[in-house]
């Protein structure tokens, strides 16, 4: 009788000599890929970033803190604002919004801005703003529906905008939105005078 042994599958040859039970951990540094393109592909959770289904805008984040009619909001590389809503004291005649990009990705890949519009103008303003491009902050020039907006910034940058509070005391509801393509579906929240 003969015992004919076939060669082991080549895949086993590539296994690490050590008997580590776990699969090799991909230690790719975070930020090397734009992980927030909407497709939670294999390994997308390597960096530990929350890339699950987009949460409804503004529901799981704290309200903005507004002091002296000024507030700070930040956007990150995971396409998220850190606040979910803004309630402006009615004693304020103007509101200043300071936007900070807490990430490192460039403006062309993960740009953020803050644009104030009526919620009902959300889609139309987004569609019309596409043609403006990054240089135009993805806001159509002289768009009367745009109440205020900051410029578009990339990682590590800051910007701000000041506008009259009276502009958001009409028929709302109003909202703040990032107008970078695709971001407006997630990066937004209500803004009102309280």
Question: 74 vs 192, which CB is nearer to Zn ion?
Answer: 74
The CB-of-26 to Zn ion minimum distance in angstroms stands at: 26
CA distance 42 to 152: 31
| Structure token digits, residue 94 | 């103007």
In this complex, which beta carbon is closest to Zn ion, that of residue 69 or of residue 82? 82
Closer CB to Zn ion, residue 92 or residue 190?
A: 190
User: How far apart, in Å, are the Cα atoms of 98 and each of 48, 95, 174?
Assistant: 28, 10, 18
CB 126, min distance to Zn ion, A: 12
- DSSP code at position 153: B
CB of 85 to Zn ion, least distance (A): 17
Find the shortest distance in angstroms from Cβ 163 to Zn ion: 19
Nearer to Zn ion, 157 or 193 (CB): 157
> Encoding tokens for residue 47?
């960096």
Neighbours of 165 (CB within 10 A): 17
Q: Which two tokens stand for residue 151?
A: 């410029």
78, two tokens:
């995971």
Binding site for Zn ion (CB under 5 A): 112, 178, 180, 183
């Amino acid at each position: 009788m003969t015992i004919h042994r076939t060669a082991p599958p080549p895949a086993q040859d590539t296994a690490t000599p050590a008997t580590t039970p776990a699969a090799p951990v991909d230690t790719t540094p975070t930020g090397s890929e734009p992980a927030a393109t909407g497709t939670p592909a294999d390994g997308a959770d390597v960096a530990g970033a929350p890339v699950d289904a987009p949460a409804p805008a503004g529901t799981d984040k704290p309200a903005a803190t507004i002091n002296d009619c000024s507030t700070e909001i930040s956007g990150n590389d995971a396409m998220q604002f850190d606040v979910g809503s803004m309630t402006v004291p009615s004693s304020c005649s103007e509101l200043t919004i300071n936007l900070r990009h807490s990430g490192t990705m460039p403006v062309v890949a993960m740009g953020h801005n803050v644009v104030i519009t009526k919620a009902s103008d959300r889609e139309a303003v987004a569609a019309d703003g596409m043609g403006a491009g990054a240089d135009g902050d993805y806001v159509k020039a002289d768009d009367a529906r745009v109440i205020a907006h900051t410029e578009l910034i990339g990682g590590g940058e800051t910007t701000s905008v000041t506008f009259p509070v009276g502009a958001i005391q009409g028929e709302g509801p109003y909202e703040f939105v990032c107008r970078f393509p695709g971001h407006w579906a997630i990066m937004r929240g209500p803004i009102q005078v309280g």
